[in-house]
Amino acid sequence: MKVAVVTGIARTTGIGHAICSTLLENGIAVIGFDINPLDTSSPLSTKYPIHFRSRVCRVDSDPGNFRRHLMSALDELQQNHVDVVVNNAGMSSAYMPETDVLHGITGDNDDEREVRRLEARMDQYNHYIQNNLRSAFLVTEVCKPFLPLPLQPSTSSSRTTPSASIIHISSTRAHSSEFGPSHAQEGYASAKAGLIGLTHSQGQSMAGVARVNAILPGWINTEDKRGGYVPTEEDHAWHAAGRIGQPKDVAELVLFLSDEKKSGFVTCQEFVVDGGVSKRMYYP
């Protein structure tokens, strides 16, 4: 039985929860991690009492604690390996406008106030890097010793594809950003772009052990992502696919990348899931 580790799984409307559900439906056991408890409305624990475990745990700052939680969950599943790692955890809000910190800036003079402004901005930025990028590296490093190592013959013609798959959930904002100071996205965009670099770097350094790929979602309707905003018909029509994305769209691609028989020759790649928006030509 394959075992997947998925981070950022607490919200039933989120991408991580959809990934867990899709993997479980296809016979893959799942260990889910989040800084928050699983939503009480989630059916996963009752529907899959044998093959699903969830843990409340930070995945960006304490590798020892994460490893202990992982080993505990593996023991409960009576497994000793991890086949799929999905790094989905992170801050979902893309914006870090300077106005968020300016109102709290005090000081005896302009120089002191400017230093405090800079410190506050760096705190904003570092928060994104830690939550959205550092966490993915930490989780992958902890899981590496648990990945199955294929026994490879000396001739290339009979070598097998690594069954292990590492998938980083990046974003189309890794390649493009919205205009204007109110849409400042330096932290989010940097972290998501960093995941792309992490993808091709790990894909090369872990060659023969795991395939490593990144998924770049566009507008995915996780309901509460935009503060209760209800997409309009114009929003749907803006996409060449004719609709806004759903968490299941990302989850199905994760399932494909988890299967070495279907995606065995696919590694170090970026997969954009945005309904065609990023390829739309726009004239102001």
pLDDT tens-digit profile of 159-214? 667 789 999 999 999 898 777 766 778 888 999 999 999 999 999 999 999 999 99
Q: pLDDT value at position 65?
A: 97
pLDDT at 226 over 80: no
Question: Regarding beta strands 52-56 and 84-87, do their DSSP bridges make them parallel or antiparallel, or are they unpaired?
Answer: unpaired
Q: pLDDT value at position 181?
A: 67
Place of tokens 């402004």: 117
Which stretch of 11-15, 235-239, 244-248 has the lowest confidence by average pLDDT? 235-239
In a domain, 223, yes or no: yes
In a domain, 120, yes or no: no
Q: Give me the percent of the chain exceeding a pLDDT of 90.
A: 65
Q: How far, in Å, CA of 218 to CA of 232, rounded?
A: 16
pLDDT at 44 over 70: yes
Q: Which two tokens stand for residue 94?
A: 């893309």
Which stretch of 59-63, 98-102, 160-164, 252-256 has the lowest confidence by average pLDDT? 98-102
pLDDT at 26 over 60: yes
pLDDT at 115 over 90: no
In a domain, 103, yes or no: no
Q: pLDDT value at position 167?
A: 99
Contact 142, 62 (CB under 8 A): no
Contact 16, 34 (CB under 8 A): yes
In a domain, 83, yes or no: yes
Mean pLDDT, the chain, as a whole number? 90
In a domain, 21, yes or no: yes
Number of domains in the chain: 1
Q: Which two tokens stand for residue 219?
A: 């507008």
In a domain, 251, yes or no: yes
Count of alpha carbons within 13 angstroms of residue 144, beta-carbon side: 15
Q: How far, in Å, CA of 26 to CA of 113, rounded?
A: 56
Q: pLDDT value at position 67?
A: 98
Sheet holding 84-87, edge to edge: 52-56, 29-34, 3-7, 84-87, 164-169, 210-217, 269-273
pLDDT at 250 over 80: yes
In a domain, 41, yes or no: yes
Phi, psi of 171 (to 5 degrees): -165, 155
Closest CA to 194 of 82, 90, 41, 76: 90
In a domain, 216, yes or no: yes
Residue 168, domain extent: 3-93+132-279
pTM for the model: 0.91
> Span 53-74, mean pLDDT?
96
Identify the residue with better confidence: 155 or 82.
Answer: 82
> Span 34-52, mean pLDDT?
96
DSSP designation for 174: G
CATH number for position 81: 3.40.50.720
Helix (H) or strand (E) holding 146: none
What residues does 172 pair with on adjacent strands?
none
